[in-house]
Amino acid sequence: MQEFYASAIRQTEGALCDELREGGFKSVRLNRGGIPFRGEWSEGWRACLQSRIAQRILVLMGRSPVTTADQLYDATRAIDWTPYLTSEQTLSVSCVAVGSTLTHSGFIALRVKDAVVDQVRDLEGDRPSIDKDDPDVRVFVYLANDKASFYLDMSGQPLHMRGYRARSGEAPLRESLAAAILRMSGWDRQSALIDPMCGSGTLAIEAALWASGMAPGLARDRFGFERWASHGEKEALEVRALRGALRAEVTGQKPAIVAADIDSGVLDIARANAKIAGIKLAIREQSVLNLQADGVARTLVTNPPYGRRLETDSNFPDQLGTVIRRLHGWRVAILSGIDAYEKAIHLPPKHKIPLVNGDVDCHLLIYEIE
Ligand SMILES: C[S@@+](CC[C@H](N)C(=O)[O-])C[C@H]1O[C@@H](n2cnc3c(N)ncnc32)[C@H](O)[C@@H]1O
């Protein structure tokens, strides 16, 4: 049994925890920053392939109390890294340190790197080289309250990089944040959904992929763990079988999903991204201000503009508020980076969930319009 850690964007831990439990992962625990779970190695592979909300999947290699640089070096060397890393491969080490005697994360990463490469050199007579951008093996060290946890990153590229977003409009949502928002919105994955300010289409594309049961990692050629020395033919066959099993689980369920925006240029981008993702969306050029309830109970999930764009049109939140209030029977989820939207809607949100979009503190406002 391995202990894994699925890292999350701040405030999406609850959604990630739900997702992993629903996916049948074991010993899933709600925790700040990310979600630990346990299982065979194949469960780590499956999480890389299946999770829509995790940023990365890490596997724990060891834990040790550490207060000095020498202890850090010895604790790193006490772990056997040589099954994963040879002198012909590349390595990177990064670190987060909080509340500990050793404070400098760059220095900690350097000592850990020294210990790992020394271990490989003692065995093989040669050292692996360092590649910070695209290493074969990534080591993460988390030092909290003088206790070091050493992880290997299984993902490689962060999991939110699904590969379908060739281009993006202004302020695109990270795909994993969009997936978390959809889960938090309470959408049932069957009823009609619209993003009337879709930009590059992230929410609508994630919604279509989620509804169809398409594991997001199926679109990716290779994960970090597939570059480890330990990943041989037997493992490659097992991963291929796992991919096949996940492909067989695709239901192909296609609820009506509409992606609309006022900007025709950005809709071309959304259309191209949806094509790469292999899904069909109904794409409409229209202003959200022309949206009408049509007797169908729909879910609206969107991320309206904020900042500079709004300064030119300060009436927009009030106009949008009027539109939202007339969407009788709809469920509405708005990721808002400014207070003006909540004020303008004039209804108490059913839920108001703090979230962070890039460096902007936001709230996800959820309404059930009567
Ligand atoms: C923050 S961006 C959305 C980003 C999107 N979630 C993504 O991931 O790319 C806001 C979008 O609202 C659109 N927008 C602004 N005013 C609008 C209006 N009146 N009707 C429809 N869309 C509008 C903009 O064109 C922009 O694409």
216 C-beta closer than 6 A to ligand 1: no
Residues with Cβ < 8 Å from 185, sequence gap 6 or more? 299, 301, 331, 333, 364, 366
* Calpha distance 290→165 (Å, rounded): 28
75 plus 183 within the same structural domain: no
Are residues 202 and 339 located together in one domain of the fold?
yes
Is residue 225 a part of any domain in this protein? no
Does residue 146 sit in the same domain as residue 259? no
CATH number for the domain harbouring residue 48: 3.30.2130.30
Residue holding tokens 């979230």? Answer: 355
Q: From the CA of 286, how far away is ligand 1's center (Å)?
A: 11
Q: How many domains does the chain have?
A: 2
Report whether 82 contacts 119 (CB < 8 A).
Answer: yes
What residues are paired with 59 via a beta bridge? 4, 152
Cα distance from N-terminal residue to C-terminal residue, the chain: 49
**Is 160 contained in some domain?**
no
**pLDDT at res. 308:** 55
The residue range of the domain holding 129 is: 2-153
Alpha carbon of 200 to ligand 1 centroid (Å): 9
Q: According to the model, what pLDDT value does residue 306 have?
A: 83
Structure token pair of residue 189: 């994955």
The verdict on the CB of residue 360 being under 6 Å from ligand 1 is no
What's residue 10's pLDDT? 95
Ligand 1, atom nearest to 263 Cα: 25
The Cα–Cα gap between 317 and 310 comes to 9
Please report, as a single letter, which amino acid is at residue 321: G
Q: Which atom of ligand 1 is nearest to the CA of 270?
A: 9
Task: Tell me whether residue 220 is in a domain.
Answer: no
Whether 129 maps to a domain, the answer reads: yes
Which pLDDT score is estimated for 167? 86
pLDDT score of 154: 98
Taking the C-alpha atoms of 262, 337, 325 and 191 in order, what is their torsion angle to the nearest 10 degrees?
70
How many angstroms separate the Cα of 184 from the Cα of each of 17, 47, 49, 198, 291? 12, 20, 21, 18, 23
H helices present in the chain, as ranges = 13-22, 41-50, 69-77, 105-124, 175-185, 202-212, 233-248, 264-277, 308-311, 316-325, 340-345
pLDDT profile of the chain (370 residues), mean per 10: 97 98 98 96 98 98 98 98 98 97 97 98 97 97 98 97 89 96 97 97 98 96 97 98 97 93 96 95 96 90 80 82 96 95 96 95 96
279 within ligand 1 shell (Cβ under 6 A): no
Please tell me whether residues 195 and 107 are part of one structural domain: no
Task: Examine the domain organization and report whether 45 and 189 are in the same domain.
Answer: no
CB of residue 168 inside a 6 A radius of ligand 1? yes
Residue 244 counted as domain residue: no
Ligand 1 atom 10, closest CA? 305
Distance 30 CA to ligand 1 centre (A): 33
For the CA atoms of 143, 25, 175, 109, the dihedral, rounded to the nearest 10 degrees, stands at 20
Q: Is 157 in the pocket of ligand 1 (CB under 6 A)?
A: no
Pocket test for ligand 1, best of 261, 284, 290 (most atoms within 8 A of CB): 261
Answer yes or no: do 329 and 271 share one domain. Answer: yes
pLDDT value, residue 311: 55
Closest ligand 1 atom to Cα of 199: 27
192 and 57 assigned to the same domain: no
Are 59 and 181 in a shared domain?
no
Residue 337 Cβ < 6 Å to ligand 1: no
Residue whose CA is at the smallest distance from ligand 1 atom 1: 305
pTM over 0.75: yes
Ligand 1 near 171 CB (within 6 A): yes
Residue 265 lies in a domain: yes
Decide if 246 is inside a domain.
no
Res 293: pLDDT = 87
Q: Is 51 in the pocket of ligand 1 (CB under 6 A)?
A: no
The pLDDT of residue 147 is 98
pLDDT for position 294: 83
